[in-house]
Chains A and B, each alone.
Chain A
C-alpha cells in the first residue's frame, strides 16, 4: 500500500517536471534562432515566409505560442516532425523501439560484464587482474565511441564478414516482405510473436555490434562503481563477522557483500540506462540505426522545434521513470531503505 502510494505520488510529480522542462526547452528553441527556419527554403519570397510565420502562429507573443503548443500536447497533437516527415508522436513511436532494444541489450552486457569484473577486481585488489580491469575501464570511458564502432565494423564486418554493417534487419527480409508489421515495433518481440525465428536471430545479429559499442562506456562506469562499492563493503565489520563464522568465501561475496555493494551501482545503472534510452547519436549513425538519437540530432541541426520539444519531453519522462524504478529497486536491495 505504502509502495503504491509512493509510486502514485512520484507519478504525479512527473507533471510539474515535464511542464518545467517544456517551458525551458520551448524558450530555448525560440531564443536560439528563428523557428520559421525549419519550414522555409531559400527559394521562398519574403512574403511567402511571412505566410508561413502566420500559419504557425510564429508572430504571436511567446507565452501564447507556448499555450498553443501545450494545448496541442494535451490533445495528442504534438506537431509535425519535419525531420521524420510524420507527426511527432508517430515519430517517437517509430524511433523508440529501436533505441529501447539497443539500450536493453547494451545495458544487459554492461551490467553482466561491469558487475562481474568490478566484483572480481575488488576481491583481487591491487593484483594483476585489478590493474588490468582498471586499464579496461579507463579505456572504456576514454575511447571515442565512433572510433570503437568503426574499429568493430572494420574487423567484424569488413575483414571477417561476421556481422552486418547497418540497420536493424537484413535486406533479404525486407525484400521478401517478411518483416512483421507490428504490433510492438520491437523487432525482437514482433519476430517471436510471428514465430519467425530466423528473423529473431537476424535482429539479434544486427544488435550485436552496436550494443557492444554502446555498452563499452557503461561497462567502464559500472565496473568502477562496483569495484569501489565492493571495496567499501568488504571492509565492513559484518563481512569480517561472516568470515569469522566460517562461511565459505563465495557465500560471503555473493550473498553478503555483492548485494549490498549493488546499491550505489544500481543508481549508476539506472542513469546509464536512462542516457541510453535518450539515444546515442554516434553509435546510431555509424550502424545506421533509426533511433531517437539520430532523430534528435537531425532535428536540432534543422531547428525542427516540434521534434526537439517532443524528444525532450519524452527523454524527461524516461529519466523520471528510470529514477522511480531505481528508487523502488533500492527498497528491494536494501530493506532498511524506506520509501517516503
Chain B
C-alpha cells in the first residue's frame, strides 16, 4: 500500500508536467499565430503600387538557359530578363521592331545575309558589362554548339548550318569539358554562319533564304547572353551549361532575383535598363496550383492578375474590381487529323475495322469535316472563347486570309459523302478508334462530338471509340502511325505561317508524316513560300496554299482559342500578344493609390 501511495503522487506529478508542457507548447503556437495575424493585419495583402503579383497554375521551368528552354514557364522569365535583336511591336506579332538592334537589319537581295547594327551603350544588369557584337555571336555560337535536341535552336541551326539535322547534341567528358566528335557542330561552322564584324555589327549568313528568320530571332532562344558572364561561370563546359540552367544575366527590364520551385519567381526591376527602369519594381509570379484557391486570392485582392481556366469564367465575371480581357485570337489551334496510311499493327480489330487507306478516299475525309459540330464545341466546351479556323494558318497571323471557306457542321452532307465514297460506308458501317492525349478534357469532349456526329449517320452500323493516350504511349503511336484519327493541338514557335504549313503539310513535317501525307507539289509550294522575301507575293502564296489545304481536307480545324485574361481593373498597360509567354511586365503599371469608395 505504501509503495502505491508513494508512486501515485509521483505519477501524477509526471503526468501533470506533461500536461503543463503540452499546454505551454500549444499556447506558444496559438500566441505566435495570433500575434502574426495581428502584426500582419490578416490574410489580405496590402496594396502596393510597386509590386505586381501574378497567380499561376504552377509547374517549374525546365531551364533558364535561352539556348535550351522550350516551354512557357521558363519562357516568361526569359522574356522579361533577356532581350532579342528584334521583338514584337506591342500587340502585333507580325510587326517586329528593333530591340537590341539599333534598326531593322539590312537583308541581301538573295535573302542569305542579315546584317545587324547593334544599339550602343546597352548594359547587362550589372551595369558594368556592355552588350556588343561579341555577345551576340557568342549567344548563337553557344546555342548551336550545344545543339540540345530538347531545345529550340533547330530554328536557327536549320538555316545557318549546312545539313544541320545530321549533327547531334554536344556531350561532355568526365571532367565536364565539351567533347567534339564528327557528329558535333564545330566552331568553324559557327564562324562561317555568324560574323562579329565590329563592336556593334553582326552578320548572319544563311545557308538558304528563309523569310521567317527575323520572326525566329524574336523568339526567346535568340536572347543575347553575356560572353563574359557565361565564360566566368564555366563557358562551354558542363559547369557552364548547368549554371545557365538556373541563373540569368541579361539586358532585359527585369532581373530574376530569386525563385523557389513550386513556390514563386521574384523579378526585380533592372536598375540599369537602357529604356528606363520599369514602373513595376517587383514582380511575384506565385504558383497556386488549385484553381479555387487562386480565384479566391484574386477576388480578395491578394493577386493583381491570375490564370483562370476558361470554364471558370462564371466565377470571375461581373465581380466588382476585376477586369476580363478576352476575344483576341491566340495562335493555338486544335485539330482532328485523319491518317491516310493507318498502321493497324497493334490496333484492336474490334475497335477499328476500316482498311489502312480508309482516309485516302477524299469523300470519307469530307464526311468527317462535316460531321463535327464546330459551333457546339466552341460555344460549350470552349465557353465561346474560340473561333473556327479556316485552315492551318490562324487568324491574326501573316498569310491568313478571311476569304478561304470553312467546313460547316452538316450531317446530311456528311452522310452523302460517306455514301458516295468508293465503299458505301453508311450501308456497310465501320468501327474506328479516335485518340486524344490523356488529361485534355476539351479534346476528349471534341472526340465525343465527332463520335456523336458519325454514329448519327448510320446508327448501329458506325461505331466510334474514344481512347485517351498517355504522352509516352502517344509518342509510340505517333511514330508508328497507329492512330487512325487523333485530336491534338499546335502552338507556334515563331509567328510565321511556315511554322504551321511545314509541320502539317510538308511531307517531312511532324503531323504530315504522322498521317502519312506526301505531296511533292505542295512540298515545293511550301518551300517556295518559305524563301519568298516579298511580303505581298508571299501573302498571296499562302492564300493559295490555304485554298489547296481546304481542298485536301486532311485536318478538321476545330478551334482557334481566343485569349482570356483576368486581373484587377486598376492594371494599366495590359495588351495581348499571342506570341508572348504570358505577361511582358515592362509595359504594365499600377496606380499609386486606389480610390476607396
Whether B264 is near chain A, meaning CB under 8 Å from some CB there, is: yes
Contacts of A165 in B (CB 8 A): 43, 288, 293, 296-297, 300, 302
Closest to A95 in B: B262
Given known A112-B26, A162-B42, A175-B51, contact A85–B8 (CB-CB < 8 A):
no
Whether A63 is near chain B, meaning CB under 8 Å from some CB there, is: no
Contacts of A245 in B (CB 8 A): 1, 4
Contacts of B149 in A (CB 8 A): 44, 48-49, 51-52
Whether A67 is near chain B, meaning CB under 8 Å from some CB there, is: no
Whether A153 is near chain B, meaning CB under 8 Å from some CB there, is: yes
Whether A83 is near chain B, meaning CB under 8 Å from some CB there, is: yes
Report how far A41 CA is from B299 CA in the complex, Å. Answer: 35
Contacts of A166 in B (CB 8 A): 286, 288, 293, 297
Q: Tell which of A95, A112, A170 touches B22, judged by Cβ atoms closer than 8 Å.
A: A112
Contact: B287 with A85, CB < 8 Å?
no
Quote the shortest CB–CB distance from A156 to chain B (angstroms): 8
Contact: B36 with A204, CB < 8 Å?
yes
User: Which of A48, A55, A200: most chain B Cβ within 10 A?
Assistant: A48
Contacts of B246 in A (CB 8 A): 85-86
Give the interface segment out of A6-14, A266-274, A295-303, A321-329.
Answer: A295-303
Contact: B262 with A295, CB < 8 Å?
yes
A-contact bits for B287-308, CB 8 A (1 contact / 0 none): 1111011001101101000000
Whether B319 is near chain A, meaning CB under 8 Å from some CB there, is: no
Give the interface segment out of B54-62, B137-145, B208-216, B427-435.
Answer: B54-62
Contact: A285 with B26, CB < 8 Å?
no
Give the interface segment out of A69-77, A122-130, A219-227, A286-294.
Answer: A286-294
Report how far A333 CA is from B304 CA in the complex, Å. Answer: 54
Closest to A242 in B: B4
Whether A79 is near chain B, meaning CB under 8 Å from some CB there, is: no
Whether A161 is near chain B, meaning CB under 8 Å from some CB there, is: yes
Quote the shortest CB–CB distance from B493 to chain A (angstroms): 7
**Which residues of B from 291 to 330 have beta carbons under 8 Å from A?**
292-293, 296-297, 299-300, 302
Quote the shortest CB–CB distance from B39 to chain A (angstroms): 6
Contact: A162 with B53, CB < 8 Å?
no
Contacts of A162 in B (CB 8 A): 37, 42-43
Contact: B36 with A161, CB < 8 Å?
no
Given known A40-B150, A85-B245, A255-B8, contact A174–B284 (CB-CB < 8 A):
yes
Whether B32 is near chain A, meaning CB under 8 Å from some CB there, is: yes
Contact: A49 with B32, CB < 8 Å?
no
Contacts of A157 in B (CB 8 A): 43, 296, 300
Whether A84 is near chain B, meaning CB under 8 Å from some CB there, is: yes
Quote the shortest CB–CB distance from B142 to chain A (angstroms): 19
Contacts of B15 in A (CB 8 A): 254-255
**Which residues of A from 30 to 55 have beta carbons under 8 Å from B?**
32-37, 39-49, 51-52, 55
Contacts of B62 in A (CB 8 A): 82, 85
Quote the shortest CB–CB distance from A43 to chain B (angstroms): 7
Interface size on B, residues (CB 8 A): 70
A-contact bits for B223-245, CB 8 A (1 contact / 0 none): 00000000000000000000001
Whether B35 is near chain A, meaning CB under 8 Å from some CB there, is: yes
Report how far A83 CA is from B60 CA in the complex, Å. Answer: 7
Quote the shortest CB–CB distance from B532 to chain A (angstroms): 24
Contact: A303 with B289, CB < 8 Å?
no
Closest to A205 in B: B36
Whether A154 is near chain B, meaning CB under 8 Å from some CB there, is: yes
Contact: A287 with B293, CB < 8 Å?
yes
Report how far A165 CA is from B40 CA in the complex, Å. Answer: 14
Contact: B286 with A288, CB < 8 Å?
yes
**Which residues of B from 448 to 474 have beta carbons under 8 Å from A?**
470-473
Given known A33-B470, A175-B51, A288-B289, contact A170–B40 (CB-CB < 8 A):
yes
B-contact bits for A158-173, CB 8 A (1 contact / 0 none): 1011111111101110
Contact: A171 with B53, CB < 8 Å?
yes
Report how far A167 CA is from B303 CA in the complex, Å. Answer: 14
Contact: B165 with A45, CB < 8 Å?
yes
Whether B346 is near chain A, meaning CB under 8 Å from some CB there, is: no
Report how far A114 CA is from B137 CA in the complex, Å. Answer: 66
Q: Tell which of A43, A46, A146, A168 touches B263, judged by Cβ atoms closer than 8 Å.
A: A168
Contacts of A264 in B (CB 8 A): none
Q: Tell which of A39, A158, A202, A295 touches B40, judged by Cβ atoms closer than 8 Å.
A: A202
Contact: A55 with B26, CB < 8 Å?
no
Quote the shortest CB–CB distance from B167 to chain A (angstroms): 10
Given known A40-B475, A157-B300, contact A85–B11 (CB-CB < 8 A):
no
Report how far A41 CA is from B63 CA in the complex, Å. Answer: 14
Contact: A205 with B493, CB < 8 Å?
no
Contact: A171 with B262, CB < 8 Å?
no
Given known A36-B472, A48-B149, contact A174–B22 (CB-CB < 8 A):
no
Question: Which A residues contact B (CB, under 8 angstroms)?
Answer: 32-37, 39-49, 51-52, 55, 82-86, 91, 94-95, 105, 112, 146, 150, 153-154, 156-158, 160-168, 170-172, 174-175, 197-198, 200-202, 204-205, 208, 245, 247, 250-251, 254-255, 285-288, 290, 294-295, 298, 301-303
Q: List 19 A-B contacts (CB under 8 A).
A: A32-B472, A34-B475, A36-B472, A36-B475, A41-B70, A55-B169, A85-B61, A112-B26, A153-B296, A157-B300, A160-B43, A165-B288, A168-B263, A172-B40, A202-B40, A204-B32, A254-B11, A254-B12, A290-B287
Question: Which B residues contact A (CB, under 8 angstroms)?
Answer: 1, 4, 8, 11-12, 15, 22, 26, 29, 32-33, 35-37, 39-40, 42-45, 51, 53, 58-63, 70-71, 149-150, 165, 168-169, 171, 245-246, 258, 260-264, 266, 282, 284, 286-290, 292-293, 296-297, 299-300, 302, 439, 470-473, 475-476, 479, 493, 503, 510
Further pairs besides A94-B261, A150-B290: 11, Cβ < 8 Å: A33-B473, A41-B70, A43-B510, A52-B149, A84-B60, A112-B22, A157-B296, A160-B43, A161-B44, A167-B263, A197-B32
